A and B are shown apart, each in its own frame.
Chain A
Amino acid sequence: MILIKNAQIVNSIHDKNEKADILIVDDKIEKIGKDIEENPDKMIIIDASGKYVMPSFTDIHCHLREPGFEYKEDIKSGSRAALAGGFTTICCMPNTNPPVDNRAMVAYIKYRAKEVSPIEVLPVGAITKGLLGEELAEIGFMKEEGAIAISDDGKCVMNANIMRNALLYSKDFSIPVISHCEDTNLSEGGQINLGYVSTITGLRGIPREAESTIVARDILLAKETKAHLHITHVSTKESVRLIKMAKEWGVNVTADTCPHYISLTEEEVLGFNTNAKVNPPLRTQEDIEALIEGLKEGVIDCISTDHAPHHKDEKNVEFNLAASGTIGFETAFSVLFTYLVEKNEFELRKVVELLNQNPRKIIGLPPNVIKEGEKANLVIVDLKKKWEVKEENIMSKSKNSVFLGKLLTSYVETVIYNGKILKKDGVLNC
């Protein structure tokens, strides 16, 4: 039994925050109420005075790198890093080696996760065989085996006919198509956002239209096919605008953006910082504002981390050779809090929607809720704690965080998943 005392519960955007004790018995929340009797012999007592308790988080876009790139991350290390950040459900992208483009690979990921992961790992299958953008992968079989979405993430399905067929075909299996929108003819050779910083550093730029033209294309394809299109890691104001129009138009489209796109600009690249090399690239203040507005209005449905671990040797190289991507699990919540909640862009309750309800809805899962009778999946956060992101504190195998050296406010201290305390007072327990 676990008793969380004096918890400030932040359940959802609709609920009022309530202050109460939470009693957890086995894997469920047995009771929520004032002054639940303490029994130190029988229960673990956690004093949450001054802290906030929220449902644990779900990430619909991350890279665990297993199989094939275990030197960057594996299912075990990635899951632990996710857990450290308060995530108890994560969806891993199929661009492994071999890629997750068939039933056996989906089964493999699920099997490995069951063996080594303390949390729930849900595989995303490929849209096309070998992620080559040519032939559709066996979407039905993959879904049967447990894939919760399909995506060729890392690559754009450039052939519009294949993308159209993927959307049509996905409908029979009620599985969302997650689109990495990047016109590779426009982005070819590009390293960072095409703009002010590319001009002053001489790094090749990727024009914003590389993203937005494919967003527009996929919206049109989703409109006609009436399939569920999910646009991931949205980074530009034009994309937000297009998605807004599409929603008003009745298109079945959802979208996410990542913590780094709503907090940092292209200027992070100055000094040729390869940790700031991500794809799509970091954009401008105007984009950040549009993305935040999109989150407020519900145009952007949720936050994903796009946790993309890379070994030091893949980052400490010439800029054009550096791998794209930043890790993101362990900083996601704190970044949202520091850059949005603390700056009064929106309330803490909204974060629950962005990291729990909405991502889960997109992949067809019910939300985690802190309610009597529900599974005990929750996090306890200290909203006052300030911490600097440092390599030595990172749980992920790779340390390529774009937030290295940044000072963040708020910290996920404790994580309880299915009634088990997996992280307590900042220390992993699994």
Chain B
Amino acid sequence: MKHLLGLREISKEDIIKILNLAKDMKTILKSETKKTPHLQGYSVVTLFYENSTRTRTSFELAAKFMSANTTSISVQTSSVQKGESLLDTVKTLEALKTDVLIVRHSVSGVPHFIAKNCSFSVINAGDGMNEHPTQALLDMFTIRERLGTIEKLKIAIIGDILHSRVARSNIWGLSKFDNQITVFGPQTLIPPYIENFAYVASSLEEAVSGKDVVIDLRIQLERQKRGFITSKQEYYKFYGLNEDIMRYISGSTLIMHPGPVNRGVEISSEVMQLPNSTIDEQVTNGIAVRMAVLYLCTRKEGIYR
């Protein structure tokens, strides 16, 4: 057992293992008691340097459903600057006998940095623009559940590819399964060399046409100030999943979004409510996937040796 730092560094077999186990975990979620003893006696800490109620709650519930002792620490960036370094924090958590640390940080590579400097398991809950592995795993889980496979599909990822850890984890994860990946977004948000990993479409129409899955990404509205995008309105018109673009998307195409959604910017409320939209399901599946990851990271016979 050890860490889940990203999908780029783990194997296809490990991903399948997680997804299969998540399926079992989902049945537990559906049961009335929602309690298993898998993590009894384990200390699971969530350390979030960025606000995210959604991801944190999902991890905490996953740990609690498995009977772990959970503690959550949220750190304001300002108090970080007051002195205690991340390394100090990690050493303290180690002394406090943490078994699993779930960490979110605005800097890419922080979970790797922690893993290098500690003895406990580290699960990456989102690091900078690098990876958000459990989000991609839950996307893959959702796709497999809906379409029966995660292989040889046509998948489009739309929006801020440059800053998106969700996009990266999805690309690394889905690429291991022979899927055809297309990306599209404003040129300012398409990172260099992404063509080595995905086809870069030249229009939204082209990007979404004939796809099995369309993953829409959240756009950070602050990007406007730094010149990446111009305005919400313009974004919605040219890059948003609105009624116009739905003409190019078939009724069987899954429409996914990691949430939280900026309604009327990335996607319209109408599109969100279509039967092929999986946005709410993704949230539920997230707990199951995180239960699976927690389980495997605390087992010697788990995926990490």
Contacts and interface: CB of A to CB of B under 8 A. Distances in A.
Contacts of A320: 107
Contacts of A199: 191-194
A279 B86 CA distance: 24
Given A203-B130, A316-B117, A272 B109 contact: yes
A10 to B, nearest CB: 42
B108 A319 contact: yes
Interface stretch (A190-198, A379-387, A404-412): A190-198
Interface string B77-115: 000000001110000000000000000010111101100
A318 B110 contact: yes
B114 to A, nearest CB: 9
B193 A201 contact: no
Contact of B129 (A195, A204, A272): A204
Contact of B112 (A200, A205, A272, A317): A272
A194 B196 CA distance: 15
Contacts of A201: 108-109, 130
B266 interface: no
Given A318-B105, A319-B107, A202 B192 contact: no
A196 B193 contact: yes
A316 B116 CA distance: 10
A271 interface: yes
B128 interface: yes
B110 to A, nearest CB: 5
B168 interface: yes
B112 A202 contact: no
Contact of A318 (B86, B131, B194): B86
Nearest to A199: B191
Contacts of A271: 112
Interface residues of A, number: 20
Contacts of B127: 202
B8 interface: yes
Interface in A201-248: 201-205
Contacts of B86: 317-318
Given A317-B85, A317-B113, A320-B107, A202 B193 contact: no
A204 to B, nearest CB: 7
Interface string B190-203: 01111011000000
A362 to B, nearest CB: 34
B108 A203 contact: yes
A194 B193 CA distance: 10
B165 interface: yes
Contacts of A316: 87, 117
Contact of A202 (B87, B117, B168, B196): B168
Interface in B280-303: none
Nearest to A191: B108
A271 B5 CA distance: 11
Contacts of A200: 8, 168, 193, 197
Given A202-B128, A202-B165, A319 B109 contact: yes
A321 B196 CA distance: 29
Given A203-B130, A316-B87, A316-B117, A198 B191 contact: yes
Interface centre among B109, B130, B192 (most CB of A within 10 A): B109
A210 to B, nearest CB: 14
A416 to B, nearest CB: 43
Contacts of A202: 108-109, 127-131, 165, 168
Contacts of A318: 86, 105, 107, 109-110, 113
Given A202-B108, A202-B127, A202-B128, A319 B194 contact: no
A202 B193 CA distance: 12
Interface in B168-214: 168, 191-194, 196-197
Interface centre among B85, B107, B129, B194 (most CB of A within 10 A): B107
A202 B124 CA distance: 14
A238 to B, nearest CB: 15
B192 A194 contact: yes
B21 to A, nearest CB: 27
Interface string A171-201: 0000000000000000000000011101111
Nearest to B163: A202
A424 B220 CA distance: 61
Interface in B116-142: 117, 127-131
Nearest to A269: B109
A320 B106 CA distance: 10
A319 B105 CA distance: 11
A240 to B, nearest CB: 20
Interface of B: 8, 85-87, 105, 107-110, 112-113, 117, 127-131, 165, 168, 191-194, 196-197
Given A202-B108, A204-B129, A271-B112, 14 more contacts: A195-B192, A198-B192, A200-B168, A200-B193, A200-B197, A201-B109, A202-B129, A205-B192, A272-B109, A317-B86, A317-B87, A318-B107, A320-B107, A321-B107
Return the 6 tightest CB-CB contacts between A and B, nearest first. Answer: A202-B130, A272-B109, A202-B129, A202-B108, A199-B191, A196-B193
25 contacts: A195-B192, A196-B192, A196-B196, A199-B191, A200-B8, A200-B197, A201-B109, A201-B130, A202-B108, A202-B129, A202-B130, A203-B108, A203-B128, A204-B108, A204-B128, A205-B192, A271-B112, A272-B108, A317-B86, A318-B86, A318-B109, A318-B110, A318-B113, A319-B107, A320-B107
